[in-house]
A and B are shown apart, each in its own frame.
Chain A
Amino acid sequence: MKITCLQNGEGTDVHDGSLCLPAPFRRRYESLWSILQRLMFFNAAPFSVIYQTIKQKGRRTASDLLSLDQIDINAMGRILKMSPRECAESGIDFYLGSGTVRQQACHRELRYCPECAKTGFHSPIFQIRFLMKCPAHDIDLLDRCPDCRQIIELNAKNLSDRGRSCPHVRVCGNGGRVQNQILPTHIDYFSEAVSWIRKAFLKENLADMTVFTGLHFEAIPRAWIRLVPSLDPLPHCIRLQSQESMSVCKFSDEISSKTLEYEIIQTYKAIARRIWRKVLSPTDRKRIFAHTKMAYLGTSTTGPYSWDADILRPIDAAYFSWKIFWESPRLPGDVLGQYADERNWRKNLIENQAPSCMRFSMLSGRPLTIRDGNWMYVLALIFLATWRKALCKATRSIQTLSPHRLTCSYLGMRKFVDESDEIYGKNDTLSIVFHHNNSRK
């Protein structure tokens, strides 16, 4: 051995120090939550101290232990002697990406496999809603302690320093020393599920091309399997939608759900502006603006129609009713989606124009199907039709001859009434049908 310079031995050891995580406890697809728990155990240190070593600079609290958003991956890799990919596998982003679908597809409470919990193992994929069973053990995932029935939030408070105990030990004390046996076959099963999820979400990018209107993404849309043959077979642990009600727009116009939502909102805003400027007089606008400052709006569960006529004029009630109908539940796209699966959905949507905000907040979310047609035009008609309906209800002076021909001469709405036939006449499908590349009016 030739002598050159001496290595800076001591300095290297101290400044690039590491933490103890024995090799048998380094397991693929293990969550950050689980790794932190094990680090606490093997390093005999509280969460706050462990977290200090791997957090991003400037972060104070650990509000999210599901993703690695608050973690310095380089530091984590250096300290635990893990590759960047191994580190990434501990966060949910590795499986679902970092888009908004993550919020809809993930449980914030701890979900675990009781068999894996015996080995102290928890994976980020357990938090995914459409994963109903443990890929390795093929048993249902639990979201509560089987003894105390408590939900366990996925946060630092519930991290147990008894790292070899089951994850709910902190709640009910139901824990014990466990083996560290994760068999290679178990990892293979995990790999299979992970590979499928990553293919659907990251490679094919299907989530970004799908319109999700429900609160949660509970099951994989059937359209995904139908339209992407390579996604078949579906791992047995993943839940598939019972019926095809959510679709992918990629295959007709390659428009992303984000773009679609944006377009819907823009259309809605255009109609709202039109009503505000063209339909409402300056006096109406002043009065309505004054009402928006009052506390009584939005507090009644029966809606504007039950409000005192002395307070609101019919057009005011119609305006608020219409706004509440489209905006109060979530977004215009959500409201459309709630009706998308119904037969005669357009008619139902217009007929059921909100008597109250409460009614619509109770509706379960429905997905929106997109197929063909000039969707901007159709949407505009729908928004206007619901406005007209709201106005008719509010004035109580409408002479409803039939649902197909509403006569309302009030404020020059005749034009839209005539077009209602066209709207109703096209409801041969249960979907709003959009084509991105069609000419829009």
Chain B
Amino acid sequence: MSNLDQQHPIITTNYVVRTQQISDLFDSLDEWLNNRCPGAIIYGMQRAGKSRGIRYQREALLSSRPKLFTFHFPCNTYRLPSEGAFFSDLLKAAGHMIWSTGSPTMKRYRLVEFLADKAISSGEGMIVLFADDAQRLREIQYNWLMDIHNELQLRNIHLIAILVGQEELLQQRDTFFKMKQKQLIGRFMVHERQFYGIRSLRELQQCLTAYDETTEYPVGSGNSFTSHFFPEAWKRGWRLRKEAEMIWGAIRECAQEIGKARVGEIPMQYICRIVENILKYYGPLSSSTSNLTHLNFKDAVARSGLIDSFRFE
């Protein structure tokens, strides 16, 4: 395998497939930004690809609004939430060089100045914060975030906090509602959008179409991931999306083998692994046809770990 192949996104798994729902999510995000909406929730099941989705959304935003400042804030778990650690994490995520030094007050001040500078210099007047695993945030941390939001608001800068996490986020919102912490809900939790995996054959076809059409490596080569691994078959008109039914069938068959009668939502991570297995193991560069069999697909599904995950649903 050449060096270029070793760095191929299919090998490194460092890519995101633009599925229909990712495109829809971007549309929602764009609308929230246009409305200067202060915050929103994106929730979904574990391993659904939310974190990858954030990275995609950030890059997509960079394409549509090149100067907009966005940052990805991984919400870390602490035994006791501390102001210093919270602002350190935010500073680090925002890209400030001095994120660990100073008192909490200094860090708070540093963060506000830094974000204000970024917002003003971008000319957009807003900043987008993607809080990953936001279900880990506690009430006090929401309050600190609200302080930052308010301070920036005084300078006519909008902090748009997109809370990305599991369905617990909705429970958190209900709890805040019961506790009459409506200022938090009003700021960060009014809008919501579900992030889901693959739920049907049609969605799987859309996903595989993305592998065929919207991917490219190396940059500017015009080669999709599929054409890279099945060059000869690709030239003869073979496409991965044509195998969607076979793959879906293999998934259902594997599920039935462990006693699961109905396949519900499949996290994107496993779909990606299945496709990667197909491309890596059954796509020799010299083959003129795909030569894929039902057994190959079943093998790819088994290698992906999907069946094991079914056991814990």
| Chain A interfacial positions (CB closer than 8 Å to B) | 1-7, 9-10, 12-14, 16-23, 42-45, 49-50, 53, 79
Is B117 close to A, CB under 8 A? yes
Given the complex, which residues of B lie within 8 Å of A23, measured CB to CB?
A: 117, 120-121
- Indicate whether B106 reaches chain A with its CB closer than 8 angstroms: yes
CB <8 Å contact, A13 and B71 = yes
B214 touches A2 (CB 8 A): yes
- Is the CB–CB distance between A4 and B216 below 8 Å? yes
Report B's interface with A, CB cutoff 8 A.
9, 12, 14-18, 52, 55-56, 58-60, 63, 71-72, 74, 92-99, 101-102, 106-107, 109-110, 113-114, 116-117, 120-121, 210, 214-219
Q: How far is the CB of A164 from chain B (nearest CB, A)?
A: 12
Query: Which residues of chain B are near A6, meaning CB under 8 Å?
Result: 14-16, 52, 55-56, 59
Question: Which of B58, B113, B217 is the one whose CB lies under 8 Å from A9?
Answer: B58
Q: Are B58 and A5 in contact (CB under 8 A)?
A: no
CB distance from A47 to the nearest CB of B (A): 12
Complex CA distance for A233 and B147, rounded to whole angstroms: 57
Closest to B101 in A: A49
Q: How far apart sit A328 and B139, CA to CA, in the bound complex (Å)?
A: 76
Contact of B113 among A1, A20, A53, A79 (CB under 8 A): A20
CA distance A18 to B110 in the complex (A): 12
CA distance A42 to B9 in the complex (A): 40
Q: How far is the CA of A20 from the CA of B60 in the complex (A)?
A: 26
- Is B219 a contact partner of A4 (Cβ separation < 8 A)? yes
User: In the assembled complex, how far is the CB of residue B231 from the closest CB belonging to chain A, in whole angstroms?
Assistant: 18
Give 6 new A-B contacts, CB below 8 A, not counting A1-B63, A20-B114: A20-B113, A22-B120, A45-B102, A45-B106, A49-B102, A50-B98
Verify B117–A3 contact, CB threshold 8 A. no
Residue of B nearest to A12 (CB): B95
Nearest CB of B to A36, in Å: 13
Chain B residue contacts of A22, Cβ below 8 A = 113, 116-117, 120-121
Partner of B98, one of A2, A7, A12, A49: A49
Flag if A17 contacts B216 (CB, 8 Å).
no
Are B59 and A13 closer than 8 Å at their CB atoms?
no
Q: What is the distance, in angstroms, from B126's C-beta to the closest C-beta of chain A? A: 17
| Interchain CB contact under 8 A, B60 and A1 | yes
Q: Closest approach, in angstroms, between the C-beta of B169 and any C-beta of chain A? A: 21
Complex: A16 Cα to B92 Cα, angstroms: 11
Assuming the contacts A3-B17, A13-B93, A20-B110, asked whether A45 and B98 have C-beta atoms less than 8 A apart, the reply is yes
Q: How far is the CA of A12 from the CA of B214 in the complex (A)?
A: 25
A213 to B266, CA, bound (A): 85
- CA separation between A22 and B114, bound complex, in Å? 8
Q: How far, in angstroms, from A53 to B50 measured CA to CA in the complex?
A: 34
CB of A53, distance to nearest CB on chain B (Å):
5
* Residue of A5, A9, A42, A44 touching B117 (CB-CB under 8 A): A42
* B113 and A5 contacting across the interface, CB-CB below 8 Å: no
Question: Given the known A-B contacts A2-B216, A44-B102, are A9 and B72 also in contact in the complex, defined by CB atoms under 8 Å?
Answer: yes
Chain A: CB-nearest residue to B103: A44
- Give me 29 A-to-B residue pairs in the complex whose CB atoms sit less than 8 angstroms apart, sorted by A's number: A2-B214, A3-B9, A3-B16, A3-B17, A3-B56, A5-B9, A5-B15, A6-B15, A6-B16, A6-B55, A9-B72, A10-B72, A10-B74, A10-B93, A13-B93, A14-B92, A14-B95, A19-B98, A22-B116, A22-B120, A22-B121, A42-B113, A43-B110, A43-B114, A44-B107, A45-B98, A45-B101, A45-B110, A53-B98
Q: Give the CA-CA distance A421 to B55 in the complex, in Å.
A: 91
Contact A17 B96 (CB under 8 A): yes
Measured between beta carbons, the chain A residues less than 8 angstroms from B59 are 1, 6-7, 9
Bound CA span A17–B92, Å = 8
Point out the residues of chain B lying under 8 angstroms from A20, CB to CB.
Answer: 96, 110, 113-114, 117
Question: Known: A2-B215, A6-B59. Contact between A44 and B106, CB under 8 A?
Answer: yes
* Chain A nearest CB, measured from B241 CB (Å): 16
Interfacial chain B residues near A14, Cβ < 8 Å:
92-93, 95
The docked-state distance in angstroms from the alpha carbon of A17 to that of B114 is 11
Q: A3-B17, A6-B14, A6-B16 known; A53 and B117 CB under 8 Å?
A: no
> Shortest CB–CB separation between residue B311 and chain A, in angstroms?
30
B117 touches A21 (CB 8 A): yes
Chain B hits for A5, CB < 8 A: 9, 12, 14-15, 217
> Complex: how many Å from CA A147 to CA B210?
72
Q: How far is the CA of A401 from the CA of B218 in the complex (A)?
A: 98
Cross-interface CB contact of B110 among A3, A4, A7, A44, cutoff 8 Å: A44
CB distance from A200 to the nearest CB of B (A): 36
With A13-B71, A45-B106 as contacts: A19 and B97 at CB distance below 8 Å: yes
User: Please, how many angstroms separate the alpha-carbon atoms of A45 and B63 in the complex?
Assistant: 34
List B contacts of A3 (CB < 8 A).
Answer: 9, 15-18, 56, 210, 214-216
B111 CB → nearest A CB, Å: 9
Provided the pairs A4-B219, A6-B55 are in contact, do residues A13 and B95 lie with their beta carbons within 8 angstroms?
yes
Q: How far is the CA of A44 from the CA of B93 in the complex (A)?
A: 18
Judge whether B98 and A4 touch: CB under 8 Å.
Answer: no
Determine the chain B residues whose CB is within 8 A of the CB of A45 once the complex forms.
98, 101-102, 106, 110
Return B113 CB to nearest CB of chain A, in Å: 5
| Distance A16 CA – B114 CA, assembled complex (angstroms) | 15
Q: How far is the CA of A13 from the CA of B72 in the complex (A)?
A: 10
CA distance A82 to B107 in the complex (A): 24
A42 to B111, CA, bound (A): 10
- Cα(A160)–Cα(B61), bound, Å: 40
Given contacts A2-B214, A45-B106, contact A17 B15 (CB under 8 A): no
> What is the distance, in angstroms, from A11's C-beta to the closest C-beta of chain B?
10
CA distance A383 to B84 in the complex (A): 72
* Contact call A43/B113, Cβ cutoff below 8 A: yes
Q: In the complex, which residues of chain A have a beta carbon less than 8 angstroms from the beta carbon of B116? A: 22
Which B-chain residue is minimally distant from A7 (CB atoms)? B59
Distance in Å: Cβ of B18 to nearest Cβ of chain A: 6
* Residues of chain A contacted by B109 (CB below 8 angstroms): 44
Q: Please, how many angstroms separate the alpha-carbon atoms of A50 and B215 in the complex?
A: 43
- Among candidates B95, B106, B113, residue contacting A18 with C-beta atoms closer than 8 Å: B95
* Listed residue (B56, B59, B63, B97) with the most chain A CB atoms within 10 angstroms of its CB: B97
Closest CB of chain B to A71's CB: distance in Å?
15
Q: How far is the CB of B11 from chain A (nearest CB, A)?
A: 11
Partner of B55 from A1, A9, A16 at Cβ < 8 Å: A9
A3 to B10, CA, bound (A): 12
Nearest-Cβ distance from residue B297 to partner chain A, whole angstroms: 23
- In whole angstroms, what is the CA distance A22 to B117 when docked? 5
- Residue among B17, B71, B110 with most chain A CB within 10 A: B110
Which A residues are CB-close (under 8 A) to B113? 20, 22, 42-44
| A43 CB contacts on chain B under 8 angstroms | 96, 98, 110, 113-114
CA distance A49 to B97 in the complex (A): 10
Q: Are B97 and A17 in contact (CB under 8 A)?
A: yes
